[in-house]
C-alpha cells in the first residue's frame, strides 16, 4: 500500500511540475469570475464568456490574468538530464614479440582423395 501511495504521489508531482495540468487548480477562479460576469451582464452564456476571455487578447479587468491558461509564465519546460560520458584515453603501446621457432611445411599438403579430382584436362 505504501509503494502504491508513493508511486501515485510521484506521478502527481511530475504531472504538476512538468505539464500544464496544474492549471486545473485554477478552475474555481474561472467559475468565480464567470459568476461575477453573470451578475454584471445578466444573460451571458458560458460559451460567450470563454470566447470573450480566451479568443481575444484584450484584458477586460484585472482578474483576467488569474484565469487558467492565461498566464504565459506557466509555460511548459522540458527537463533534461545530462550524463557526462567519461573520456577514454588509449595509450599507444609497442608490442614486443619474441619468436623462438618458425614452423612451416616442407611439402604442400594435399589429400590423396583431392589429388584425383583436381587434375588438368586430358586429351
CB 20 within 8 A of CB 69: yes
- Within 13 Å, how many C-alpha atoms sit on residue 100's CB side? 0
38 within domain boundaries: yes
Residue 14 has pLDDT above 70, yes or no: yes
Q: pTM for this one?
A: 0.47
Report the pLDDT averaged over residues 37-44.
Answer: 84
Number of domains the chain contains: 1
Closest CA to 40 of 61, 59, 55: 61
92 within domain boundaries: no
98 within domain boundaries: no
- Within 13 Å, how many C-alpha atoms sit on residue 63's CB side? 11
pLDDT tens digit sequence for 71-121: 655 555 566 777 888 888 888 888 888 877 777 766 665 566 666 666 777
95 within domain boundaries: no
How much is the pLDDT for 38? 85
67 within domain boundaries: yes
Range of the domain at 22: 2-74
43 within domain boundaries: yes
Residue 43 has pLDDT above 70, yes or no: yes
Question: What average pLDDT does the chain have?
Answer: 77
19 within domain boundaries: yes
Q: Report the percentage of the chain scoring pLDDT > 70.
A: 79
Give the sign of the dihedral formed by CA 27, CA 32, CA 33, CA 38: positive
How much is the pLDDT for 96? 82
Residue 33 has pLDDT above 70, yes or no: yes
86 within domain boundaries: no
Scored b (16 or more CB within 10 A) or e, 74-101 reads eeeeeeeeeeeeeeeeeeeeeeeeeeee
Give the span between the Cα atoms of 60 and 66, in whole angstroms: 12
Amino acid at each position: 500500500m505504501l509503494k502504491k501511495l508513493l508511486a501515485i504521489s510521484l506521478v502527481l508531482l511530475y504531472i504538476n511540475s512538468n505539464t500544464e495540468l496544474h492549471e486545473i487548480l485554477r478552475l474555481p477562479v474561472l467559475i468565480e469570475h464567470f459568476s461575477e460576469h453573470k451578475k454584471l451582464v445578466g444573460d451571458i452564456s458560458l460559451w460567450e464568456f470563454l470566447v470573450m476571455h480566451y479568443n481575444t487578447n484584450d484584458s477586460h479587468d484585472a482578474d483576467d490574468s488569474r484565469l487558467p491558461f492565461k498566464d504565459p509564465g506557466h509555460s511548459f519546460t522540458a527537463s533534461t538530464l545530462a550524463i557526462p560520458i567519461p573520456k577514454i584515453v588509449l595509450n599507444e603501446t609497442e608490442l614486443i614479440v619474441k619468436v623462438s621457432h618458425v614452423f612451416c611445411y616442407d611439402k604442400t599438403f594435399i589429400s590423396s582423395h583431392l589429388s584425383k579430382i583436381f587434375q588438368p584436362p586430358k586429351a
